[in-house]
Structure 1
Amino acid sequence: MDLTSYSHSAYSLLPPAIALVMAILTRRVLISLACGIVVGAALLKQFMVVGGIEYLLDLAKHLVCSDDSWNSWNINILLFLLLLGSMTGLMQVNGSTVAFANWARQRINTHRGASLLTALLCFVVFIDDYFHSLAVGSITRPVTDHAKISRAKLAYLLDSTAAPMCVIMPISSWGAYIIALIGGILAAHGMADISPLNAFINIIPLNFYALFALIMAFSVAYFNINIAGMAKHEQQASLGHLFDEHKGIPAGTSTGFKATVTGTPWGLILPLLILALATFCAFLLTGYQALPDGTSVTIFSLLKNTDVAFSLVIGGFAGLIASVIFSCSLKVTLGCLSYTILRGAQSMLGAIWVLLFAWSIATVIRDIHTGTYLASQVKAIALPPALLPMILFIIAGVMAFATGTSWGTFGVMLPIAGDIVATSYPEMMYPVLAAVLAGSVFGDHCSPISDTTILSSTGAGCHHIDHVMTQLPYALLTAFISAIAYLVIGYTGSLWMAISAGLILLCIGLVWFNQRPKVSTLAASA
């Protein structure tokens, strides 16, 4: 794919900007993404119609194969979604979903309890954000549905506890990747006396957005704080309308399945436990198989080299097989099994289309070098050292928002941040690296084209644009507080003053919103 004069310039901002603005204004994600893709193709091919069409066809081809080989990452993620959809359908047909909801109802029957359960599971399922959003969504959706919690609120709780937890956990796919990047930065600047793991641990308390996002999520769960559009969704949920029914059935919501037998809660719990265990074992096995010669075998080296997408497929197959076996033990007919597996997979098609378009525009953004342009602007600006953490937090947020990827932003911005401070301001190394990590997660949270955001919508059974619009006010408030905290640490150098300032602002915001009129829900509990 050849580049043109429009690459590496301000024009490279047009494709993501058009897609994002249209998604917010029209609330039609696929059309918005398609417009961004077409504009990007036009810019890359200098508005030549034939060249643009060839580029788009090549783009579609690269979704499934590239360089004469299969695109295993994309294919495996899509396959995992289909497997999870089939599992969800089987859990409904064999009565496990209803049985689990009845079992949970006896123990967790309040709005607060169901919300806190969803948030607390981030301390159990933190190995990967994709897995967290989809698995925790499957576990808690029957509980939150019974408590009349809107799917938008569920999607927010899933998304705001997935990436923020993964990014501060060294034993996660995120942690392993970040530790590897930090190791390269330290080595490049002669800081070999600092181990990458110790540097990561020192960065954790400086990752203000992740920490404040988790506090915000737990506060929202406990106090039932509804900001802006979330209040409308919660009000509708209290009347039994868990999602906007005028927009159709959300992706990830298996419908048309009725329990044909009397199930037990174990029909939901066991397959998901097997899915989790098989996925984790596959993480370790694929990581071991990919270890370079001479590399010591540690949990961090295994997670650094693991194949996340393939591991999810292994876990998905294991979970589906467990669901099939459980269904057969309850005398579900073979005809019903095959029909449910196909219809369950079909329920994921909406999410798959959004993911395909999101991956396509991500490729356009990469080819037109949007991230490279933004990064060059950072290096071109002479920033006062005290402002570096806050400015890099904002720029990383903008880049992740525009590109829809936090990992891609890590890869581009972390080395740049290290270059900026290594020679003149080495004492700022940890704050600026933390600011990049925090900004990347923030931008990824807000972006409609982020795959993590898409999968959180899918895991919750929520319309994607509803999730984006209802999560945005919470993310912006948390980001504003984080930016102030980075400003404080930039000028004072004191971690405790920065955290204290952030917590004070967060408490003020939470108290103010908590004092506003509450949504009256039948299941709410003080």
Structure 2
Amino acid sequence: MEAVNVGWLSILPPIIAIGLALITKEVISSLMIGILSGTLIYTYALGQNLVLDTMKNTFELMGNRFDLNIILFLALVGALVTLITRAGGSKAYGALMNRKLKSRSSAMLATGGLGALIFIDDYCNCLTVGTVMKPVTDRFSISRAKLAYLIDATAAPICIIAPISSWGAAVISSMPEGSNLFSSGIAAMVATVPFNLYALLSIVMIILISLTDLDFGPMARSELKAKKGDLGAVDVRLEEQPVISDKGSVWDLILPVIVLVGVSALAMLENGGYFAGGMSIAEAFGNCSSGPALVLGSFVALVFAFLQFVPRKLMSARDFMEGITEGIKSMVPADIILVLAWTISGVCRDLLMTGEFVGEAVQTSNIPIAILPAVTFLIAAGLSFSMGTSWGTFGILIPIVFAICESVAPALIVPALAASLAGSVFGDHCSPISDTTIMASAGAGCDHIEHVSTQLPYCVVVAGCCFFGYLVAGFTNGNLILTLGVSLALLIGAMTFLHRTFGAKEN
């Protein structure tokens, strides 16, 4: 299928998909209609049959863009995290923390630590951390709103910077292959991590709040009520919970994750050519094919989990297989969104030359190219907030941003790609219709609207610092030290000022 130049019509498919998502708040059907509109334009431009050839081109494109390895990895990761939870590994972590922790700060840091440890999937992160840490945070009079924020801020922001995770796989699969700037999708994804300001600053903010209690706004009021005995807990009904073993240990949480990461990394080095000699570790990672390596790592981790859980009677072989089935089912919505995001990005890049059209429009306009990362961050944030999904957002934006930077500003491609990821996570983090936000409030046993209203000021403060950071990145051609330095200084200054001005007082 050869691309055709259709001019301004090339931007209609993403506009239609985004517009429908904003109106309907339903992502899957919006992406499907956007895809069909793109293949219809392509078919019309070639003078083909508008009905038969549109459907043929749609399914052919979807088949070409479909990455079975990534789909298998997501399914196996869903199975693994379900089994870890049922084996009692996460529950054992909570029991250990309940015995060892002595202060509010340590309880909040332990909550964030568990969220960082379960980096392979945000869904599992939200529900597991909430269930495990509620008794601990309740003992130290930490509000459920604060718990929900800690859960939410260590879900997507952690997963988006972990290459071996469900989010990492989604990002890698969205990165263009065979470019002159990156040797592989994983090389592009890893390059964006230092510039993913929203993820990094969210982690810093959690640490600062845990250590200093620099709360402000609605969260400060919720914390003041919690110290007086009102935790803000509500009866949030989740789906019927499976039986969780009481015999599990913390190692039942840690070891399968270590095996997953270790085997995946070794497999990447192997297919990247490191063990054949003649290249460094960094070169091998840049040259590797990540999909097959991730599938192998997750499969070996599942086999290891079976040998670790079943002989010790943490679960029966039958329960183990049922856990695999339930875990795979939990990843089906994510798989659907990812496949559709791949397809609409293929429509834009492979059929209609959307990136080339937008790149030429930017090049001939009077817009300063230095503001591209900051503008990309704002656009991604608005789309993700409105649609309630990160994956659909960066699946649409990454190919367009890549094409613009490749032709106009190669020096800014890493900050701009990172800005599209960071903005997507910010919008998803604070959107009231985001599945991650909903699960975070449910996992914490917090009223959903209270969770949204208390964490929104925190998210906006971090995002504001990110925006100025991306301006610095744009005007310095991606100077990492200046970008991170300015962003961190702004965050610390803003938190201190807001705490002194809008912090809740005892009186």
Name 1:297's counterpart in structure 2: 279
Change (3 A) 1:392 1:343: closer
**2:72–2:295 CA contact under 8 A, matched in 1:** no
Change (3 A) 1:140 1:306: farther
1:275 aligns with 2:283: no
User: How far off is 1:363 after superposition?
Assistant: 1.6
Give the TM-score normalised by the residue count of structure 1: 0.65
1:338 aligns with 2:331: no
1:420 aligns with 2:417: no
State the identity %. Answer: 12
Which amino acid in structure 2 is aligned with residue 376 of structure 1? F
Name 2:154's counterpart in structure 1: 157
User: How far off is 1:257 after superposition?
Assistant: 0.9
Q: Secondary structure in 1 aligned to 2:160?
A: helix
1:284 aligns with 2:266: yes
Deviations 1:359-388 (A, max 9, x none): 324423431459954663354235999943
Which amino acid in structure 1 is aligned with residue 180 of structure 2? G
User: How far off is 1:397 after superposition?
Assistant: 5.3
Change (3 A) 1:408 1:138: same
1:214 aligns with 2:215: no
1:484 aligns with 2:468: yes
Find the partner of 1:507 among 492, 496, 499.
492
User: How far off is 1:445 after superposition?
Assistant: 0.7
**2:337–2:392 CA contact under 8 A, matched in 1:** no
Name 2:372's counterpart in structure 1: 391
Take 2:154 and 2:491, find their aligned partners in 1: how far apart are those partners? 17
Take 1:480 and 1:176, find their aligned partners in 2: how far apart are those partners? 27
Find the partner of 1:16 among 18, 28, 32.
18
Which amino acid in structure 1 is aligned with residue 72 of structure 2? I
Take 1:480 and 1:51, find their aligned partners in 2: how far apart are those partners? 48
Name 1:33's counterpart in structure 2: 28
User: How far off is 1:142 after superposition?
Assistant: 5.3
Deviations 1:418-476 (A, max 9, x none): 54357xxxxxx3xx345314312223314559xxx97898899859xx79967766454
Name 1:238's counterpart in structure 2: 231
Which amino acid in structure 2 is aligned with residue 269 of structure 1? W
Find the partner of 1:45 among 40, 48, 59.
40
Take 2:174 and 2:336, find their aligned partners in 1: how far apart are those partners? 26
Deviations 1:133-163 (A, max 9, x none): 5787698555433325545531322322343
Change (3 A) 1:482 1:384: farther
Name 1:80's counterpart in structure 2: 77
Deviations 1:221-243 (A, max 9, x none): 4437477799889999935448x
**1:40–1:364 CA contact under 8 A, matched in 2:** yes
**2:40–2:54 CA contact under 8 A, matched in 1:** no
**2:10–2:353 CA contact under 8 A, matched in 1:** yes
Query: Which stretch of structure 1 is more off in the superposition, 270-279 or 378-387?
Result: 378-387
Change (3 A) 1:438 1:183: same
Structure 1: any 5+ residue segments left out of the alignment?
Answer: 24-30, 188-196, 423-428, 521-526
Deviations 1:252-272 (A, max 9, x none): xx813154xx5142xx42453
Give the TM-score normalised by the residue count of structure 2: 0.67
Which amino acid in structure 1 is aligned with residue 266 of structure 2? L
Take 1:435 and 1:139, find their aligned partners in 2: how far apart are those partners? 33
Which amino acid in structure 1 is aligned with residue 419 of structure 2? G
Find the partner of 2:337 among 353, 357, 362.
357
Name 1:366's counterpart in structure 2: 346
Name 2:387's counterpart in structure 1: none
Which amino acid in structure 2 is aligned with residue 163 of structure 1? I
Structure 2: any 5+ residue segments left out of the alignment?
Answer: 139-143, 385-390
1:108 aligns with 2:101: yes
**1:81–1:345 CA contact under 8 A, matched in 2:** no
How many pairs does the alignment contain? 459
Take 2:404 and 2:28, find their aligned partners in 1: how far apart are those partners? 29
- Computed over aligned residues only, the root mean square deviation of the Cα atoms, in angstroms, reads 5.5
Change (3 A) 1:210 1:82: closer
**2:65–2:342 CA contact under 8 A, matched in 1:** no
Deviations 1:69-102 (A, max 9, x none): 972221331232123223322x14xxx5444322
Change (3 A) 1:77 1:421: closer
Find the partner of 1:377 among 358, 368, 389.
358
Name 2:110's counterpart in structure 1: 117
